Chains A and B, each alone.
Chain A
Amino acid sequence: GAVVSQHPSRVICKSGTSVKIECRSLDFQATTMFWYRQFPKQSLMLMATSNEGSKATYEQGVEKDKFLINHASLTLSTLTVTSAHPEDSSFYICSAQEDPKNIQYFGAGTRLSVL
């Protein structure tokens, strides 16, 4: 099956720093990638939809200046959490959609801890 690589798997940073998370589709091209946030014992919350070569579409309530998304190629999307604060600590998961099968494949997730 299709493989999505997400890096890093865990990051600990100081408050005020920025953190970049990468999401790569290893064996297929993904025009669309998604970024989710998952709080403990809860379902996934879609943050934004990332389309290759265009601006990301953010869900209501998600600060686009806080969570910068770049989808520069058909195999790579990045999420940068700018000026991170403790409340940004969470589990972030990306997925890539394999067209035209309409299936999303997920990365392993990144646990962000902001001190």
Chain B
Amino acid sequence: AQSVTQLGSHVSVSEGALVLLRCNYSSSVPPYLFWYVQYPNQGLQLLLKYTSAATLVKGINGFEAEFKKSETSFHLTKPSAHMSDAAEYFCAVTSKGGQNFVFGPGTRLSVLP
């Protein structure tokens, strides 16, 4: 079985500050990990993915995440927050060939001027 936890249901940062959204996973098989972003009343947009290649993954909009097997983590970071980054962020886990994605509960990011 797989599971995902996201520490912090709501994170607030100032514009220009570092963004750090935490994701920890549990998986009995090598995981594939994803970060998605959801803007109000919209579907999910893929930010980045880890599928067993490089452990530091770069995504769209300046986001990146690092897979750390020893810590079972896949935290999302961005060096400098922008107002347009305010949204809900979901971490998800699956496995190679796996059909089901397991989503975390989400973290709402607020960016303060």
Name A's B-contacting residues (CB within 8 A).
1, 4, 6, 32, 34, 41-44, 46, 49, 91, 93, 95, 97, 101-109, 111
Contact = CB atoms under 8 A, between A and B. Distances in A.
Interface string B102-113: 011110100000
Interface of B is mostly: loop
A17 to B, nearest CB: 22
Given A42-B105, A43-B103, A43-B105, A102 B43 contact: no
Interface residues of B, number: 24
A64 to B, nearest CB: 17
Interface of B: 32, 34, 36, 41-46, 49, 51, 90, 94, 96-101, 103-106, 108
Given A44-B103, A106-B45, 13 more contacts: A43-B90, A43-B103, A43-B106, A46-B101, A102-B51, A102-B94, A102-B98, A103-B34, A104-B46, A105-B46, A108-B43, A109-B42, A109-B43
Contacts of B103: 43-44
B33 to A, nearest CB: 11
A101 B108 CA distance: 28
Contacts of B96: 102
A108 B42 contact: yes
Contacts of B105: 42-43
